[in-house]
Structure 1
């Protein structure tokens, strides 16, 4: 019986291997078939996809960054990436909301984790930037699983080196354009101020979505506006609806290369309790997913989902929401890869 079970896994995994059509085009290797291998069995790669070293190259690489030394309140986001991977075992290969099979349209693979120094934020930032740059140089897009929001800065640096200054769509309860915490320039509340200062963002196409809660003072909003950000609050989403919000974002982004950064605390704590700085009055998971689906025509070059802190959510609600968010973003990127190939 034991040999039979092992043989079944081997056969199933083997059938998922990359092969080629008669034309010579590579067929992407997809996830393990969950109708034949139980979801709880095997390694927890994102969506049960192959590892990057198993396929060689990928159109979309899922990268973990287990780092949370930049947080100002509750830690634990260093465990977020693997929690998202575990929750993603439930994802299936066809996305009906986008009418797409993302893992058949493009090769998506799990690239593992970046080793980021937990005791030296500056060195950690450099390590994340180097690892992201190395992957981007292969022509892949990145779907990064954090980690705290500090990591958005090195990711944006690497993306901007390849694409030039990028449009930014930032889903968050907080602005993350503050100058410093305790004299430190690299924290989870400062990445987008640093990115504007470094010239790696297209300041004509910057948007926050989901902003809410108390601030230090009106200057926070003044500074943010001067940097070029537009703000769609959580209340705006409630009153105007997801379709109108998505249309406004599409118009602002246009055809520019786009980076999307999702802090999971954009969701109300009822939908994402496992995060470091929760704020009442946030988006529902349904609203977030619908807005993302409304961005299908945008030129998404890379994305991240950050601030998932599993120690504060033993029911794994937050990781489930984050895994579906990453799935929608991955689908957007896979559709673009397929569209670009068809246009050649």
Structure 2
């Protein structure tokens, strides 16, 4: 029965990508829950342009656990995604091959080992020529992902959507947590300090020194109140100017959204972005060189009616669409092979 379900994924024509299962032939609630009902990596011969990868890890959280289940919750919610994205006027899964590469199995009892595992596997995926859409897990995983990105691209521009700065030094003496990845990344030279931005930050801090330390690392801050007062278009234009044509990594903590739009997360803060604002900002990055992205901190145990997972699935869909559009545009720009 499983084979009959998976066989309804559209077969590639010539060199065309293999797309998602046809929901007009197989109900959305049937069959395995890959992201957007896309083929597994083994169903594409181990080749893909964008690998959707889960990291079920939440040992680095400082408050409510549960994000280890986030990746599969996003996959389940993504059953409702459709193959044409009208907001970006693109059929992302026809432009380039996107496949669900499963999960990176990490040690839940040893943060250091988990970080090393994520870095190693991410490096292998990038070495294959694919970009990554990573589904967390907690924000600790951003550090090993950025290590892999910097090895391939050099220091990258970072666009960080989050209620929190995540540039603190330690928690309980621990250097690797979900609140410290971007301080470690800054210390390790993984980031292009001319193109770093937090978006959606808000809420109380431990002290003004938090902001001073963050500024010394080169981060610019667009608070959730800034988005509300200035509007999405002005904010997005500012971000594009800061990023330029640098290799861009986008890291999205789902708690950037107001708890009304994302209750299923570990450290919610009032006064956040709407899901519409987040999606519109991402859509405005079409001219940026998006090399990979992550989406973290979805904790389905605190979700209500899958509100958070649905918002997360659409966020990952927009980011994946950006990547496939850029891949397709780069291929079209390649010179045609000379005839013998």
Q: TM-score, normalised by structure 2?
A: 0.96
Q: State the match for 1:28 in structure 2.
A: 17
Partner of 1:27, secondary structure, is coil
Structure 2: distance between partners of 1:111 and 1:286 = 28
- Unaligned segments of structure 2, at least 5 residues: 335-340
- Tell me how far apart the structure 2 counterparts of residues 85 and 313 of structure 1 sit (CA, whole Å): 15
| Matching residue of 1:263 | 253
Partner of residue 149 from structure 2, selected from 154, 159, 163:
159
Question: Between Structure 1 and Structure 2, how many residues are aligned?
Answer: 333
Alpha-carbon offset, residue 302 of structure 1: 0.2
Superposition map of 1:77-226 within 5 A: 77-226=67-216
Following superposition, the deviation at residue 315 of structure 1 comes to 1.2
Per-residue CA shift, 1:108-163, capped at 9, x if unaligned?
00000001100000000000001111111000000000000000000000011111
Instruction: Pick from 25, 31, 36 the counterpart of residue 47 of structure 1.
Output: 36
Aligned to 1:249: 239
Query: TM-score, normalised to structure 1's length?
Result: 0.95
Distance 1:144 1:237 in 2: 26
The residue aligned with 1:23 is none
Aligned to 2:338: none
The answer as to 2:70 corresponding to 1:74 is: no
Deviation at 1:6, TM superposition (A): 8.0
Q: Report the equivalent of 1:297.
A: 287
Segments of 4+ moved more than 3 angstroms:
5-11
Q: RMSD of aligned C-alpha atoms?
A: 1.1
Distance, in Å, in 2 between the alignment partners of 1:119 and 1:223 is: 30
CA contact 2:5–2:31 (8 Å) conserved in 1: no
SS of the residue 1:81 aligns to? helix
What secondary structure is seen at the aligned counterpart in 1 of 2:317? Answer: helix
Q: 1:67 to 1:29 in 2, by over 3 A?
A: same
* 1:53 Cα offset (Å): 1.1
Separation (CA, whole Å) in 2 of partners of 1:288 and 1:172: 11
Aligned to 2:337: none
> Compared with structure 1, are the counterparts of its residues 314 and 166 closer, same or farther at alpha carbon in structure 2 (3 Å cutoff)?
same
Determine if the alignment matches structure 1 residue 19 to structure 2 residue 13.
yes
Which residue does 2:322 correspond to in 1?
A: 332
Q: Which moved more, 1:101-110 or 1:312-321?
A: 312-321
